[in-house]
Amino acid sequence: MDNSCIFCKIVAGEVPSHKVYEDGETLAFLDIRPVNPGHTLVIPKAHYKNMEDVPEAALTAVMATVKKVGALLKAKLGVLGYNIGENNDPIAGQLVPHLHFHVMPRREGDGYQLWPQRSQEASEADAVIAKLKS
């Protein structure tokens, strides 16, 4: 536990939350600034900063909970789908330095937009691949 981490405080019961699901390794609770009603955060109970820090077994447990929460949102809230998001490090928008996944219910006409896409030249892709494989 990181005593300065708001999510660790939620796990410890020091900060209230609206729990959606909990098991021995994970916790799912409603986001306080939801994209849509039912927007849920899924976290490991142990403190890991980001994807590179989390052991694979803990990540597997978190993803199993993400799957359960997604199915729960579809079954109980009547949504037809959901987005899953994870912002890894502050440059990518991570506001709380505790690994967490957003499960965001989608509704027709909700106005939520995906990120913009752009074209890529073959030479750019080749340069990226060369760096990744070096």
How confident is the model over 40-56, as pLDDT tens digits? 999 999 999 999 999 99
Whether 70 maps to a domain, the answer reads yes
Whether 93 maps to a domain, the answer reads yes
**Residues in a beta bridge with 104:** 83
**Total domains, the chain:** 1
Q: Which domain holds residue 18?
A: 6-133
Whether 82 maps to a domain, the answer reads yes
Please tell me whether the overall predicted TM-score, pTM, comes out greater than 0.85 for this model.
yes
116 pLDDT exceeds 90? no
CA of residue 134 relative to chain centroid, distance? 30
- Does the active-site annotation cover 102? no
Whether 126 maps to a domain, the answer reads yes
CATH number, position 85: 3.30.428.10
Whether 50 maps to a domain, the answer reads yes
Query: Which position among 39, 47, 98, 100 bears the catalytic label?
Result: 100
Whether 1 maps to a domain, the answer reads no
Q: Collapse the DSSP code of 123 into the 3-class scheme (helix H, G, I; strand E, B; otherwise coil) and give the result.
A: helix
